[in-house]
Amino acid sequence: MPLESAQALGTTSGERRDTLTITDNRTGKTYEIPITDDSIRAIDLRQIKVNPDDFGLLSYDPAYLNTASCRSAITYIDGDRGILVHRGYSIEQLCEHSTYLEVAYLLIHGHLPTRTQLDQWVHEITYHTFVHENIKKFMEGFRYDAHPMGMLMASVAALSTFYPESKRIDDPWQNHISAVRLIAKMPTLAAFAYRHAVGLPYVYPNNDLSYPANFLSMMFKIGDAPYEPDPRLVRALDVLLILHADHEQNASTSAVRSVGSTHVDPFSAIAAGIGALYGPLHGGANEQVLQMLNRIGKVENIPAFLQGVKERRELLMGFGHRVYKNYDPRARIIRKYVDDVLAVTGMNPKLEIAVELERQALADEYFVSRKLFPNVDFYSGIIYEALKIPTDMMTVIFAIARTAGWIAQWLEMINDPEQKISRPRQIYTGPLNLTYVPLDQRG
Ligand code: SDX
């Protein structure tokens, strides 16, 4: 809506208008862009042109530092105040009162379940934990030292071939059963990947156990001896799953939304999310934190390590966040559970290094000025290690937990009338109008 001047908009009346008035100094034209939810629609910039046949203005935002890709009601984060809310409930309340499967229900259905709804949900997931026997043959094709995240990504993608009907994403029942299958089978696939790596026979799901206890059983049960994990450790794992369940438009969720926007089946979309989470800057950070603490080795080495970070020779893994510029509320909760877990399993020397590393970093201007605080990955690895979870399985557990969030976000995306296939534009910087040179004439 190009205007000759702002006066045409009744600015003399002084009423507040939720609009942005933009003057293009190349032409002197003024444009009125509506503001809703403290944002403007990037497509409204396209009307700003010099010549009528111009493409119009684009917004350029590498890594989407300041771009909202969707409207979502699932998770709210206030990065400056360190607040995390799922469907209106604070992460602190959910960790204190809820279970991972109940939080999964909340994320996907948008409300806390009634007792009947929860019982039905838990029953469905419990009775879908088995995977097709062919998956075992598929797993055996991996080398003994294959990273379990690579095995998980491949296995989840393979599941799409066992459930071809899941392509019918316009069918609410298909989407429901795909959600149940993904949440139910992720721990089984994860445990199978671990058992393959250590050369142990697979342990089938035990439907008498809770979701977290069943995962520990499939990971660690040996022979016919009953496997009865300490309930305090089971609760700590359940809380870790809650803490990792969803986190609005993080890199892996954005991958699931983007791949899902092509209307591929949800198994393939979630496999793309696993690939994104695998990266050391994202879900792979918890594995990197443990390796970092091992490298530091003892408290006396912390100052030299931090100097290396300040000289940009490495990153302080488990610190920093694109959104949180305050303490990640999840890290605060995990820190509390570390003491509970170590009271059962015994002290871990890495905790002493981690606590001192955090203290020194939070007292150092370099980190304070960059608003670098511990994130969800800084202490989680210490709990996983206390649970005897090997380092390369830690991101796998992150993937198990995030499956509920990925599904909730995928469902919200396919049901959002504003969404369509994800296809960003670009600013072309390459050459044009070159003439093809035959091979024998090239220098
Ligand atoms: C997760 O997005 C999500 O929600 C993710 C997640 C989820 O639940 O899905 O929360 C899970 O991915 C948590 C993050 C796990 N990753 C790590 O712990 C890896 C270490 N952290 C960094 O790589 C980094 O902090 C990121 C990737 C998390 C964020 O990267 P950004 O947004 O590029 O960081 P920034 O722009 O805020 O950095 C500001 C400054 C920069 O320095 P200058 O160039 O301005 O001098 O801080 C520096 C960065 O170089 N910096 C770090 C640092 N993180 C940022 N310096 C040292 N160590 C770090 N960890």
Residue-wise pLDDT tens digits, 363-419:
999 999 999 999 999 999 999 999 999 999 999 999 999 999 999 999 999 999 999
Is 156 found in the same domain as 123? Answer: yes
Give distance in angstroms: CA of 252 to centre of ligand 1.
15
> Residue 15's pLDDT is what?
79
Tell me the pLDDT tens digit for each residue of 247-298: 999 999 999 999 999 999 999 999 999 999 999 999 988 889 999 999 999 9
> Residue 13's pLDDT is what?
62
Catalytic residue among 282, 340, 364, 416: 282
Is 216 found in the same domain as 139? Answer: yes
Asked if 23 and 29 touch (Cβ cutoff 8 Å), the reply is: yes
Is 199 found in the same domain as 89? Answer: yes
Residue 9 has pLDDT above 50, yes or no: no
**Confidence band, pLDDT 50/70/90 cuts, at residue 226:** confident
User: In this structure, what DSSP letter does residue 11 have?
Assistant: G
Residue 12 has pLDDT above 90, yes or no: no
Is 379 found in the same domain as 406? Answer: no
Give distance in angstroms: CA of 307 to centre of ligand 1.
18
In sequence order, what are the residues at sequence separation of 6 or more whose Cβ sits closer than 8 angstroms to the Cβ of residue 289? 317, 318, 354, 377, 378, 380, 381
**Confidence band, pLDDT 50/70/90 cuts, at residue 65:** very high
- For the beta sheet containing 2-3, the strands, ordered from the edge strand earlier in sequence to the opposite edge, are 2-3, 29-34, 19-24
Question: Is position 431 within any domain?
Answer: no
Ligand 1, closest atom to CA 322?
Answer: 32
Percent of the chain surpassing pLDDT 90: 90
Token pair of 158 as six digits: 């393979």
> Residue 5's pLDDT is what?
45
- Could you tell me the end-to-end alpha-carbon distance of the chain, in angstroms, rounded to an integer? 53
Count up the domains in the chain and report the number: 3
Last residue of a domain, one of 339, 364, 385: 385
CA-closest residue to ligand 1 atom 31: 322
Would you tell me how many other CB atoms lie within 10 Å of the CB of residue 397?
Answer: 26
Phi-psi domain of 363 (left: phi exceeds 0; alpha: psi -120 through 50; beta: other): alpha
> Residue 284's pLDDT is what?
87
Between CA 327 and CA 367 the distance in angstroms is 12
Q: Which of 84, 370, 394 to mutate to test the pocket of ligand 1 (most atoms within 8 A of CB)?
A: 370
Give the Å distances, CA to CA, from 255 to 67, 179, 273. 15, 17, 5
Is 246 found in the same domain as 301? Answer: no
> Residue 16's pLDDT is what?
82
Angle, in degrees to the nearest 10, between helices 115-126 and 100-109 = 110
Ligand 1, closest atom to CA 328?
Answer: 10
Catalytic residue among 44, 246, 377, 392: 377
Catalytic residue among 147, 244, 247, 321: 321
Q: Which residues of 192-205 are buried (b: 16+ CB within 10 A; e: fewer)?
A: bbbbbbeeeeebbb
Cβ burial, residue 125 (10 Å; 0-12/13-18/19+): buried
Ligand 1 interacting residues, C-beta cut-off 6 A: 247, 250, 281-282, 285, 309, 315-323, 370, 372, 375-377
Task: Say whether pTM exceeds 0.75.
Answer: yes
> Residue 4's pLDDT is what?
45
Give distance in angstroms: CA of 370 to centre of ligand 1.
10
Is 232 found in the same domain as 252? Answer: yes
Question: Is position 436 within any domain?
Answer: no
> Residue 373's pLDDT is what?
94
Residue 11 has pLDDT above 80, yes or no: no
Asked if 103 and 238 touch (Cβ cutoff 8 Å), the reply is: no
Token pair of 228 as six digits: 């009865």
Is 231 found in the same domain as 106? Answer: yes
Residue range of the domain that includes 334: 296-385
Between CA 126 and CA 120 the distance in angstroms is 10
Is 317 found in the same domain as 192? Answer: no
Residue 443 has pLDDT above 90, yes or no: no
Give distance in angstroms: CA of 305 to centre of ligand 1.
17
User: In this structure, what DSSP letter does residue 313 have?
Assistant: S
Ligand 1, closest atom to CA 289?
Answer: 18
Give the Å distances, CA to CA, from 14 to 17, 29, 284. 9, 22, 53
Tell me the pLDDT tens digit for each residue of 318-338: 999 999 998 999 999 999 899
Is 372 found in the same domain as 241? Answer: no
Residue 7 has pLDDT above 50, yes or no: no
Between CA 338 and CA 346 the distance in angstroms is 11
Question: Is position 429 within any domain?
Answer: no
Give distance in angstroms: CA of 237 to centre of ligand 1.
25
Ligand 1, closest atom to CA 251?
Answer: 2
- CATH number, position 256: 1.10.580.10
Q: CA geometry: angle at 205 spanning 230 and 155, to 5°?
A: 115
Is 362 found in the same domain as 253? Answer: no
Catalytic, 377? Answer yes
As a whole number, the mean pLDDT across the chain is 94
